[in-house]
Amino acid sequence: MNRRVCVAGVGMVPFSTPSKGKTYEEMGESAIRAALADSKVDYAKVGQAYAGFAYGDSTSGQKALYRVGLTGIPVVNVNNNCSTGSSALWLARQAVASGTAECVLAFGFEQMQRGALKPMWDDRPSVLERFDGVVSAVCDMDDNVPMAARYFGAAGLEYMSKYGAKAETFGAIAVKARKHAAGNPYAVFRDPLTLEEVMGSPHIFGPLTRFQCCPPTCGAAAAVVCSEEFARANGLPADVVIRAQALTTDTPDSFEGDLAKLVGTGMAKEAARQVYEESGVAPADIPVVELHDCFTVNELLTYEVLGLTPEGTAEKFVAEGDNTYGGQVVTNPSGGLLSKGHPLGATGLAQCAELVWQLRGQAGPRQVENATLALQHNVGLGGAAVVTLYEKVG
């Protein structure tokens, strides 16, 4: 798999709250058409499609794609929890890199219900049963606390105990997220927040308050990936490439009592290691990152997982502004999941779109100057972690 893979086009729709969202097929179609228009490729030349969604009936991908056209191409529906969109992109990239296809579409959408994430089936074993057991063994749990907030809140408490971090450090990440989102018309929440407002919002669990938890949202995003040869032959943009990418899952240490690893830091760290090794790029070389900030706790943990700052130093990293404009690396210029929202199937591809715009210099008021490398991190419990490195070339 040594063929260079270009991201020829990206597209997304503005994310919205469930009460204002459109249907999944409408959003999916709009995102697909936007990506095709951005790439300037005729849909008839797309050889495969990978559709990501976590909540929906089987073949929902076809339902959305058929609104664009009926060309008979293979369509694969992908569900990998919160990393669904990036998993679809990973599959699309593999198809092109291996020579199986020349031009592939990856898209994701989610028509979400209001309220916190919850299991959809109560007549069969939960996929997170083993995760629940680990958390329950190390801290008291309140069944009224949403499932994901229990995991990440407990991991936040563990980090505070281990390194002496203050609860306000997590809150400062939410303040930064809103500040970044102010320049993003695709984000749901763009109004600024003060640290006092963040910390004063309803307490959820551990260090987490309401404004430190990403909202359930509806949305869709898409990307067209192709070989460099296909791009040149068809006049498609070939200036942004996927330099390296890795998808990893849990290993035994995820379930040995370390709550950070339980919420995905172990598998994400391994994915990042593979990407850095494959590309020869070091964390210090990267000016912009879109990472999976489903909770402020996860953003802080991920700074260290991706090697942006040494283990145990994330609080200093936040306090010195190294996670924003004027600092070491701009994290989540889009506003991240905390402000943009988190429609599970769309999130990874929305991250892709933001980073492609950054590398092209098309990010408007949130543009990171002179960005030629960009890193993406997307994680789903259960579990799957995808890390992707993009590069501007030519």
Tens-digit pLDDT profile for residues 161-181: 999 999 999 999 999 999 999
Region 249-261: mean pLDDT is 95
Identify the pLDDT of residue 114: 75
Domain at 5-114+215-389: CATH code: 3.40.47.10
The residue whose two tokens read 């200036």 is 239
pLDDT band for position 141 (50/70/90)?
Answer: low
pLDDT band for position 118 (50/70/90)?
Answer: low
pLDDT band for position 380 (50/70/90)?
Answer: very high
pLDDT band for position 2 (50/70/90)?
Answer: confident
Question: Model-level pTM?
Answer: 0.96
Task: Tell me, yes or no, if 218 is annotated catalytic.
Answer: no
Q: Where are the domains of the chain?
A: 5-114+215-389
Instruction: Say which of 6, 82, 218, 226 is annotated catalytic.
Output: 82
- Percentage with pLDDT > 70 across the chain: 98
Task: List pLDDT tens digits, range 268-322.
Answer: 999 999 999 999 999 999 999 999 999 999 999 999 999 999 999 999 999 999 9
